[in-house]
Structure 1
């Protein structure tokens, strides 16, 4: 692993793990030796990162040189905590992990008083289950949108009949009670909305449709508006 990548990985671990975090825990998280952790912490301190603590006690990142200071006011902090809390309960493990990572990064850039506001925010999300249960890992579909690559899915209609479709994924939409994928269906040669809870499998089809995603999505949204 390149040294710069290793240092960034160490910074991320210190943002996310509960402080004070021991060198042994950091070594486990980043996959390097204890000796490397001690050396890398010294390097980060030399570069300007505010890291409190010492060997045998643990470390706490108090000022993150990799991120600029943030100037959120208190209501903005409440909105961040509430919004990211909702994402963590959507039912998509990748998004839940990303939401936790974003919150940790934001906390690392806040002044002490604002950080306390974030850690003890009034607004919270509590759900007794995932909001959008799905039968498939959305990673392949999300990647297809990002990369503008076709995806092959196994899809069950409302009667339970299953078919294999190749789609051009355009967007993932979170409605009140379900998650849907807006796409161009290559089988039907038309725009279609696929419910995520009816997708049993998804994998890359190996075909690019770049750079058409934005244009196709704009056309689909215009069609939905015309339908009223």
Structure 2
């Protein structure tokens, strides 16, 4: 690996961490000595990289520092294209245009020898997960999650019973081929996972919920204990 590539990789590693990273960890990641890391950090700092920290405490890249346009390997491009292809073909098409636009923007800044002529030259998405069509607008749910608004929903359970509930939406995921909304349910006074295709009506309320969504998400994860939640209706 050339030194210029190593310096770039060092910036990339620092960019991925929100907290100070030790020189020992950086050295292990780049397969070099700790002394080399110290020299590389000093070089980057003299070249304008906003790296804070010192030996023994660790280093962090200030979030205001902007890296130059990234150079993707062909493998990284293939992964990005496959992911975008998969997203664009899912039912409801929620992120189809966004995925296509993202790939177009990435391709626009790449050198000619790194552009991918055909998105499925080597690998392709062979199947599409069939997701039930939604009767509500997912953008309304995303907005409520982002701003921590409560919502009033009419929900149809597996037995065909409809109920009205006030919920605190915190996360949208895809589990068992369904879009699922993780939320705190005021009616049940507990976390519940709602299939989006069974929400008959959605009304975002002006009232915000507390505590912060990140705290609720941690509590939900602790209760579940695993990455795949149990679907409780």
Question: TM-score, with normalisation over the residues of structure 2?
Answer: 0.62
2:173 equivalent in structure 1: 173
Per-residue deviation, residues 102-151 of structure 1 (Å, max 9, x unmatched): 11111111112222356454222254674453332211111111111112
Query: Could you tell me whether the CA contact under 8 Å between 1:89 and 1:130 is conserved in 2?
Result: no
Q: Specify whether residues 121 and 80 from structure 1 end up closer, same or farther in structure 2 by C-alpha distance, changes over 3 A only.
A: farther
Q: Which runs of 5+ in 1 are unaligned?
A: 1-66
Q: Specify whether residues 130 and 103 from structure 1 end up closer, same or farther in structure 2 by C-alpha distance, changes over 3 A only.
A: farther
Query: Could you tell me whether the CA contact under 8 Å between 1:136 and 1:201 is conserved in 2?
Result: yes
Query: Could you tell me whether the CA contact under 8 Å between 1:182 and 1:192 is conserved in 2?
Result: yes
CA separation in 1, counterparts of 2:125 and 2:116? 18
1:199 aligned onto 2:188: no
Deviates most, 133-142 or 193-202: 133-142
Supply the RMSD in Å over aligned alpha carbons.
Answer: 2.5
CA separation in 2, counterparts of 1:132 and 1:71? 38
Say which SS state the counterpart of residue 116 (structure 1) adopts. coil
1:143 equivalent in structure 2: 143
CA separation in 1, counterparts of 2:160 and 2:111? 54
Say which SS state the counterpart of residue 99 (structure 1) adopts. helix
1:220 equivalent in structure 2: 220
Structure number with the higher helix fraction is 1
**How many residue pairs align between the two structures?**
162
CA separation in 2, counterparts of 1:94 and 1:210? 28
Q: Which runs of 5+ in 2 are unaligned?
A: 1-66
CA separation in 1, counterparts of 2:205 and 2:176? 30
Q: Flag the structure with more relative contact order, 1 or 2, with Cα contacts below 8 A and sequence separation at least 6.
A: 1
1:109 equivalent in structure 2: 109
Question: TM-score, with normalisation over the residues of structure 1?
Answer: 0.63
Say which SS state the counterpart of residue 150 (structure 1) adopts. strand
1:38-49 matches, within 5 Å, as none
1:152 aligned onto 2:152: yes
